[in-house]
A = this chain, B = another copy of it.
Amino acid sequence: MFRHAQLESVKAFVGDPAHAGVPLHGRIQRAIRQLILDGALEVGRPLPASRPLAQSLGVSRDTVEAAYRQLHAEGFIERQVGSGSCVSRRARLFAGANAPRRPQAAAQAPRLSARGQALHGTGGVNTVSAPRPFAPGVPETRNFPLHVWERLQREVIREHGSAVLAHSPAQGMASLRRTIADYINLERGGHATPDRVLVLTSSQQALTLCANLLLDAGDRILVEDPMYHGASRAFDAAGLRRVPIAVDAEGMQVARLQRQGHDARAVFLTPSHQFPTGAMLSLDRRLALVHWANQNDAWIIEDDYDSEFHYAGKPTACVQGLDPHERTVYIGTFTKSLFPGLRIGYMVLPSALVAPMTVARSLMDGHSPTLSQLTLARFMEAGHFGAYVRAMRGIYVARRDALLQLVRAHLSDFVVPQVPAGGMQLPCFFKPGIDEQAVLEGARQAGVALQGLTALHASRTPQPGLLLGFAAYTPVEMEMAIKPLATVLRRVTGQV
């Protein structure tokens, strides 16, 4: 028999509008199963006979019988002719499975693999879903022509029908690979063909693939110092040993590769617009880099994450286009140039890497969504991509200048801005004696989002400062955030 509370619980479950999609007998069966899993009905407890339970619930006896049959088939109850049904003896083993867990169970360190612990230890990559000043690396999306995107998606659905719902090749849809190759060749001076493009979800996925496919745990990878934290975490997670190479106004100091790079299997860099300093790798260094990689049988991993947004002329041709030896993996993304929620990035690969990378991607997560690939290809083919990037370039350069003015007006006692020729963020170096950690903590309390520069450095004597994102924020929004930041700086430096 049920206690009153148990009967009420069954009634509530059965009457819950959220369960309207489940047939009546299924709702009764699930409600009773829930009571058993929760331990509310102990082993051997007799269940009500079907007739009185049916009356209590206002359903037919057949309905209750159907629920009992299913519970019996699942092994939750035992039935004996004449003596009715009772909770199965086996319930002893799982009773309480649904009870609230002891808090310590969750707090205990789980048994992870060694590589799992390394992965967890990196802290991962935190993406910003509701960006506020001055979170860096986030594009403006409030101007995106969503109506155009929706219209193109409708066209794609009309033309392709239910094929947009099917699996698609792990390498990516042919139409998107073609438009990406055309774009890289035209805009980036690259040497891409559709059969060497691999469509991915993000440059983060590209970095993880490169870290695992090209290097083993313990292998050395040459990186910029300072460097992009998403890349350093992907490399740490893969167990690589990072060898930092200093960056100056012309980008990575490639001459150091000859001395520091002797047994490295790969070099990672952001040549168009170094993250975070904004430096552009000079042509001479690009050529020296290609020469070094070829001599040392090493891979160049070129992350061209925001080359669309270059404000003084065009960025120079990408390293991949200058490399006659097929040593360069080129990484691009639509996260910055279109919108982060899209989840489409790509690599342009040396031909020998196409098959291994495609296989690895198929094991990692299969392939990218079919419909958004087709829609993006059409968006690019129809010229919307180029037009949108041009429009955003104008907006971003104006925002960069607005932020620069704000920094000069409000923060000039504390920081020296380093104006970038491109990208979405303004590096600002602290004047001597300012405690970066104290500023970051004060800003956090004041609700201002900040990325410190120190955390991006491998060297022991980093130049502290801030990386202020400007792309996603209007001048008014930035002004509203720069004032509390100035207050924090005054307080930290004892000027208040």
Contact = CB atoms under 8 A, between A and B. Distances in A.
A350 to B, nearest CB: 7
A368 B341 CA distance: 8
A322 to B, nearest CB: 4
A26 B314 contact: yes
B341 A164 contact: yes
A204 B287 contact: no
Given A111-B265, A237-B363, A166 B97 contact: no
Interface string A59-74: 0000000000110011
Contacts of A116: 212-214, 356, 360
A94 interface: yes
Interface string A390-429: 1000000000000000000000000000000000000000
A295 interface: no
B343 A94 contact: no
A113 B216 CA distance: 5
A19 B361 CA distance: 32
A157 interface: yes
Contacts of A244: none
A2 interface: no
A37 B321 contact: yes
B146 A162 contact: yes
Contact of A386 (B22, B130, B283, B284): B22
A167 B129 contact: yes
Contact of A204 (B19, B109, B365, B368): B365
Interface stretch (A42-50, A99-107, A453-461, A478-486): A99-107
B323 A125 contact: no
A339 interface: yes
B237 A352 contact: no
Interface in A14-29: 18-22, 26, 29
Contacts of A237: 360, 363
Contacts of A265: 111, 113
Contact of A367 (B127, B167, B169, B212): B127
A369 B343 CA distance: 6
Nearest to A316: B74
Interface in A86-137: 90, 93-99, 101, 105-116, 119-120, 122-131
A124 B363 contact: yes
Nearest to A361: B124
A366 B202 contact: yes
B351 A166 contact: no
A492 interface: no
B73 A313 contact: yes
A157 B341 CA distance: 13
Contact of A150 (B154, B200, B316): B154
A487 interface: no
Nearest to A164: B341
A194 interface: no
A452 to B, nearest CB: 20
B165 A339 contact: yes
Nearest to A385: B21
Q: Which of A116, A138, A144, A164 has the most CB of B within 10 A?
A: A116
Contacts of A108: 352
A116 B329 CA distance: 15
B284 A130 contact: no
Interface in A308-363: 313-314, 316-317, 321-326, 339-343, 350-353, 355-356, 358-363
Contacts of A299: 111
A141 interface: yes
A5 interface: no
Contacts of A76: 283, 317
A107 B109 CA distance: 47
Given A34-B185, A105-B352, A141-B166, 7 more contacts: A30-B189, A37-B191, A108-B352, A113-B212, A127-B169, A168-B341, A205-B366
The 10 closest A-B pairs by CB, nearest first: A75-B283, A341-B370, A21-B386, A124-B359, A165-B339, A116-B213, A106-B351, A127-B167, A110-B352, A124-B362
10 contacts: A21-B383, A37-B317, A112-B214, A116-B213, A120-B355, A127-B168, A128-B167, A144-B165, A167-B341, A233-B363
